[in-house]
């Protein structure tokens, strides 16, 4: 895991991720299975079902792309596009997503 303090829309937050960029497709590109007619009711496929993600998934945030090198980790793409990252207030408990299994977008 890696974490970094950031300012996000004027708020101090901690951005964290599992450092598995080779498995990061991006929120808009990760394959999913629709569960109902509600566009927000879906489950993301697990890492094992997908294999490695493209080096450049074609999405950018504030001029930042998915990190290629360790020195680029936790950039604007990570904060806004990466499905693996989590933002939390300092000292707030959080949990990283476990992509070893499918993840539902909505509560069950």
Per-residue tens of pLDDT for the chain, all 108 residues: 999 999 999 999 999 999 999 999 999 999 999 999 999 999 999 999 999 999 999 999 999 999 998 888 999 999 999 999 999 999 999 999 999 999 998 865
Model confidence, pTM? 0.89
Return all residues near 93 (Cβ < 8 A) that are at least 6 apart. Answer: none
Q: How far apart are CA 28 and CA 4, in angstroms?
A: 23
Contact between 52 and 21 under an 8 Å Cβ cutoff? The reply is no
Indicate the domain borders of the chain: 2-28+52-97
Contact between 85 and 17 under an 8 Å Cβ cutoff? The reply is yes
- What the block records as the tokens of 44 is 């993301």
């Amino acid at each position: 895991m890696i974490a970094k303090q950031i300012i996000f829309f004027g708020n101090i937050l901690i951005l964290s991720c599992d450092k598995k960029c080779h498995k990061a497709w991006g929120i808009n590109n990760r394959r999913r299975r629709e569960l109902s007619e509600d566009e927000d009711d879906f489950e993301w496929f697990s890492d094992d079902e997908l294999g490695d993600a493209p080096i450049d998934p074609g999405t950018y945030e504030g001029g930042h792309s998915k990190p290629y090198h360790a020195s680029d980790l936790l950039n604007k793409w990570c904060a806004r596009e990466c499905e693996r990252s989590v933002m939390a207030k300092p000292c707030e408990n959080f949990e990283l997503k476990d992509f070893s299994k499918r993840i539902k977008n909505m509560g069950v």
